[in-house]
A = this chain, B = another copy of it.
Amino acid sequence: MGTGKQQRRGDTRQRIQDVALELFAEQGYEKTSLREISEKLDVTKAALYYHFKTKEDILTSIFDDLTGPIDELIAWGHAQPQPVSLETKKDVLTRYSAILINAAPLFRFMQENQAAMRDLKSGASFKDRMLGLHEILKDPDAPMADQVRCFSALFTMHAGMFVLKDAEGDPKEKREAILEVAIDLVTRAHTGG
């Protein structure tokens, strides 16, 4: 100890995940090489292979550690009394917003690397999660426009978190505005426009 760069022996696996996600989100999955990750960690490529079997395994492990909260949210939503009340829908959106903020780099990565993720095992499961959330929000018999509103609410939250990072203004205020718009969309879809 005392050196600027602590080795923190024992949490190497975690450090690999952190650096990998940072680079994946920044430059894309394909463009990021294991050499780059290992250099940033000051270890060799071979050391990576002690902790993970393949490059894809690194990404998969990151997913597994962070998608739990979404699954819990979906399970909670589906356990609510049917038909789902507007208050429950607002709850889902609010909780989802918190999850998004908490795992922002991962969601940024997912949003910007859909093509790379398509055949990545984790890809399909994320699509399933989106559909799971949509099922809670939408009214099965509602007109098409209202189903679009529910999709739009989810997508607005995904996109807004990162599109608005360039815009001026307080981050907290921006997040609240995004959530407000999402809730408004679902509310209009709930009452039937």
CB contacts (< 8 Å) of A152 on chain B: these are 152, 155-156, 159-160, 181, 185
Q: What is the interface residue range for chain A against chain B?
A: 35 or more
A160 touching B156, Cβ below 8 Å: no
CB contacts (< 8 Å) of A180 on chain B: these are 145, 148
Q: Mark A163-182, 1 if CB is under 8 A from B, else 0.
A: 11001010001100110110
Question: From residue 127 to 154 of chain A, which have CB atoms closer than 8 A to chain B?
Answer: 143-145, 147-149, 151-152
A167 touching B181, Cβ below 8 Å: no
A80 within 8 A of B: no
A155 touching B163, Cβ below 8 Å: yes
A27 within 8 A of B: yes
A151 touching B144, Cβ below 8 Å: no
A46 within 8 A of B: no
Given known contacts A112-B115, A115-B27, is B169 in contact with A144 (CB within 8 Å)? yes
User: A114 is contacted by which of B111, B178, B184 (Cβ under 8 Å)?
Assistant: B111
Q: How far is the CA of A98 from the CA of B159 in the complex (A)?
A: 22
User: A156 is contacted by which of B29, B118, B155, B163 (Cβ under 8 Å)?
Assistant: B155
CB contacts (< 8 Å) of A29 on chain B: these are 115
CB contacts (< 8 Å) of A9 on chain B: these are none
Q: How far is the CB of A84 from chain B (nearest CB, A)?
A: 19
CB contacts (< 8 Å) of A164 on chain B: these are 148, 151
Q: How far is the CA of A95 from the CA of B190 in the complex (A)?
A: 29
Q: How far is the CA of A156 from the CA of B155 in the complex (A)?
A: 7
Q: How far is the CB of A114 from chain B (nearest CB, A)?
A: 4
Using a CB–CB distance below 8 Å, which chain A residues touch chain B?
25-31, 109, 111-116, 118, 143-145, 147-149, 151-152, 155-156, 159-160, 163-164, 167, 169, 173-174, 177-178, 180-181, 184-185, 188
